[in-house]
Amino acid sequence: MIERTFVMLKPDAIQRGLTGEIMGRLEARGFKPVAMKFMRIPRELAERHYAEHKGKSFFPSLVEYVTSGPVLCMIWEGENIIMALRGMMGKTNPQDAAPGTIRGDLAQQTGRNLIHGSDSPESARREISLFFNDYELHEHKMSIEPWLFE
């Protein structure tokens, strides 16, 4: 099933110059970018984005971290992309993430784990609507699609 997901490259990914590496992994997997936005997230938006963590001990530091510098917000499309991307990202704690995953290969600590990806179709819809308007999404066919899908 073709679906869309929200992906955010966090401030540490931007500062470390890993955007090309991470996006290249998504493209190499055959996923398609639908929208991208380079931005500095306002505190209020960060708090809404991470609302499910409100009240947890790490919530203030998470909001502080994600608002500390620019991020790259994106929408990607692909077959079963939500679960596939979760696997590509690796576990939240990079020390537990498998080699070959983004976090397993590139991240050091849970508090600096480079990337966020939606964990379900419902959260993907919610997160996409927080960061993007309909007119910012770009429908397009890629010439390689016949080589990816039957």
Residue 68 CA to residue 150 CA, distance in Å, equals: 43
- pLDDT value, residue 139: 81
Task: Kindly report the pTM of this predicted structure.
Answer: 0.91
CATH code at 65? 3.30.70.141
Q: Domain limits at 42?
A: 2-148
- pLDDT value, residue 145: 80
Contact between 128 and 7 under an 8 Å Cβ cutoff? The reply is no
Catalytic residue among 49, 53, 116, 140: 116
| Domain total in the chain | 1
Q: How high is the mean pLDDT in each 10-residue block of the chain (150 residues)?
A: 96 98 97 97 96 93 96 97 98 96 96 95 97 89 79
CA nearest to 15, candidates 48, 35, 40, 46: 40
116 catalytic residue (yes or no): yes
